[in-house]
Amino acid sequence: MPEDVGKYYEQAIEILTTYGFSVLGAMVILILGFWFAGLAKRFTQRGLRKTGRIDEIIVLFLASMVRYLVIIFTVLAVLDQFGVETTSLVALFGASALAVGLALQGTLSNVAAGVMLLLFRPFKVGQYVDAGGSAGTVKSISLFTTHLDTGDNVHIIVPNGAIWGSVITNYSHNPTRRFDLTIGIGYGDDIEKAIRVVRETIAADARSLADPEPVVEVANLGDSSVDLLIRVWCKSGDYWGLKWGLTRAIKEAFDRESIEIPYPHRVIQSQSID
């Protein structure tokens, strides 16, 4: 019996001598690796936030990626402590990542497009845009999709890949916008009078801007009318209200001043057959 105890004792000493330092080294590497992973994540977040240009979603995403990369290298270093051949594991990991990437290439393209949208900011939440074949007010931007609300309160979810790969029209990017309006007057009407009435109507609406100056000019001599081109600048948020209000106000002003707005007439004559 004492011989068996001595034998087990010797085996235990041999195991501790053989693997003890490896286990101890692995524990140290794990502790230091996870500590450094958290430190790298916090450092990445702090550095990205200092720029003031990167969205918080991108900050958290990139910081998490840095942390996971450090953890992966830590695990590989631990396996190397036990004599495991890590080259084959790296190759296996690369092949697996490639297979997953090919299987999820549509999803990954949306993620890549989401990163680009959040990084370069072609539009922001609250702006009215036409992107990816859909138009509406931007409600939220995530890594995968962008959410829009249309003018009639329909919620649209657009994949980021469709947005980044198409033309983006941002109607709210600039503080001011210009709208064009064409109104015809009769050939017998006084052009100067009509232009004066239009300018007075524009000036009476506080939403119209004096700088740049509104434009009211003869644009075309049509078949039945002299067409006046009206160009007015306003704040982007006043665009539709001013356009609708000004169109009505000009019509009412023309009626008061007896200025004709020509429209097609159809004359029906009847003949009696004897």
3-class state of residue 192 by DSSP: helix
Judge contact between 134 and 123, C-beta under 8 A. no
CATH of domain 123-170: 2.30.30.60
The fold of 176-256 is Alpha-Beta Plaits (3.30.70)
pLDDT of 7: 57
pLDDT of 73: 80
3-class state of residue 72 by DSSP: helix
Stated pTM of the model: 0.63
pLDDT of 90: 61
The fold of 2-103 is Helix Hairpins (1.10.287)
Q: How many other C-beta atoms can be found within 10 angstroms of the C-beta atom of residue 25?
A: 15
> What is the chain's pLDDT, residue by residue, as a tens digit (274 residues)?
455 555 555 555 555 555 556 667 777 777 888 888 888 888 887 887 787 766 666 677 777 778 878 887 887 777 766 666 666 666 666 666 556 555 545 567 778 888 888 778 888 888 999 998 889 999 988 878 899 999 889 999 999 888 988 899 999 899 999 999 999 999 999 999 999 999 999 999 999 999 999 999 999 998 889 999 999 999 998 999 999 999 999 999 999 999 988 876 565 666 655 5
Letter string b/e over residues 125-153, b meaning 16 or more CB atoms within 10 A of that residue's CB: eeebbbbbebebbbeebebebbbbeeeee
Domain map (residue ranges) of the chain: 2-103, 123-170, 176-256
CA 140 to CA 56: how far, in whole Å?
A: 13
pLDDT of 104: 47
Q: Do domains 2-103 and 123-170 have the same CATH topology?
A: no
